[in-house]
Amino acid sequence: MLRSFRIVSVLISVLLLSGCAGGTIGGLLPAPKMMAGNVEGDYYTSKNGEFTVQLPYPPSKSDSDSYEWRYAQVREIEDGPVVGIVFGPAAFDKSLYHTVLIKSPMQGNKEEYAKDIFSKKAGSRNGTYSLRGEGTFQEGNKKGFYSVYESESSMLLLTLIDNENSFYAVEADFIKGGSMSPEIDSLLNIKWGVVGDLISSFEINKI
């Protein structure tokens, strides 16, 4: 029980993180990204090789994605069984994208476990967030859970994907009205764009 509480606490804190490596120097030049993990081409791999995921802005996709990645901030996470990375904000895309592997199984009723984490995450944020939608989805042979929350200024898309002996979270914090932010209806209809690409590209290499 204590271990489960610790995992939930770390997962909640992840959503509060903002980028700290990368960004700009003097507000103009892109700063170097000092990371323990490795970026090769369009993909990031965690320091110890636990997981690989596509960047939210794959440089080979377009010139605009390459530009976003050059200016993107990142923050890596390593806390016990939780390892991951937060991408953003970038040049024009001010969203925060979180990809996190939890090297421990989901507990008890998995749907209720996911809802509890989502509710606590939304409740830990500044401002008042309302639940706009929730449900399940399928990612290959894995079952996923999601919730969409909305406040006056932002939207949260929270997902957990079950991998039996582990699970992973892919999340996004969008600024409402942002030039590159989706509409709330797209999130509710599981038209997730970048988040969908992160989910489908997330590969667990080892636990």
Q: pLDDT of 109-168, one tens digit each?
A: 999 999 999 999 998 887 899 999 999 999 999 999 999 999 999 999 999 999 999 999
The tally of domains found in the chain comes to 1
Task: Find residue 167's DSSP bridge partners.
Answer: 102, 162
Task: Band the pLDDT of 2: cuts 50, 70, 90.
Answer: very low
CATH no. for residue 159? 3.40.1000.10
Among 153, 144, 154, 157, which Cα is nearest to 186's?
157
Amino acid at 70: R
Q: Which domain holds residue 138?
A: 2-204
**157-171-136 Cα angle (round to 5):** 60
Name the least confident of 17-31, 76-90, 167-181.
Answer: 17-31
The yes-or-no verdict on residue 27 having pLDDT over 60 is no
Percentage, residues of the chain above pLDDT 70:
85
pTM: 0.89
User: Cα–Cα distances in Å, from 42 out to 87, 140, 159?
Assistant: 13, 22, 22
For position 44, what pLDDT does the model report? 98
Taken in order 51, 35, 178, 149, is the CA torsion positive or negative? positive
Percentage, residues of the chain above pLDDT 90:
75
- Phi, psi dihedral angles at 185 (to 5 degrees): -65, -35
Comparing 206 with 144, the larger pLDDT belongs to 144
For position 135, what pLDDT does the model report? 98
Task: Band the pLDDT of 74: cuts 50, 70, 90.
Answer: very high
